[in-house]
Amino acid sequence: MAKEKDGWARFRERENERVEEERSRLQEEMRKIDPKVKLGETTTTDQVLIELLTKCEVMMEQITNLYGMWIQGLERTPPTVQRKHLEDLILKIQAAPKPTANLRFRVNEFHTKYNTYKDKWDRLLKDVEAGKVVVKRKSVSGS
């Protein structure tokens, strides 16, 4: 006669199933945040969000440099496409679950920094439209 599982064995099985469901749910959420992320067994939401925050900080510096290049006449248009891509990433970060207080603090700090840069970029565009800042235009010499 087969020995039936005792209560603790059933409890451990249910607990393992719950852990696996939680892991798969978190991996799905991480894939929604960044579809290109490489997920392993030990990858956590924290690691994915920290990676995205780092990527966004680099993008903010690049966009600031592109605005400077636009003012100098090296770029023809302001970096609106890059800025839109950055805003999309920020919306994904804001919607992502933040399980630890440390991560919530880092996301809030980043969002504050982004708002400061955004105000700076908007002010620059407004000044260019008002004529306070002159955008240099490089003339294209024709053959």
Residue 139, domain member (yes or no): no
Residue 135, domain member (yes or no): no
Residue 72, domain member (yes or no): yes
Domain that holds residue 65: 44-130
Counting the structural domains of the chain, the total is 1
Residue 22, domain member (yes or no): no
Residue 35, domain member (yes or no): no
**Highest mean pLDDT, choosing among 32-36, 44-48, 104-108, 139-143:** 104-108
Predicted confidence (pLDDT) per residue in 54-109, tens digit: 999 999 999 999 999 999 989 999 999 999 999 999 998 888 888 789 899 999 99
In this prediction, residue 28 has a pLDDT band, given cuts at 50, 70 and 90, of confident
Residue 51, domain member (yes or no): yes
Residue 115, domain member (yes or no): yes
HEC per residue, the chain = CCCCCCHHHHHHHHHHHHHHHHHHHHHHHHHHHCCCCCCCCCCCHHHHHHHHHHHHHHHHHHHHHHHHHHHHCCCCCCCHHHHHHHHHHHHHHHHCCCCCHHHHHHHHHHHHHHHHHHHHHHHHHHHHHHCCCCCCCCCCCCC
Predicted confidence (pLDDT) per residue in 109-134, tens digit: 999 999 999 999 999 999 999 988 88
Buried b (16+ CB within 10 A) or exposed e, 96-107: bebeeeebeebb
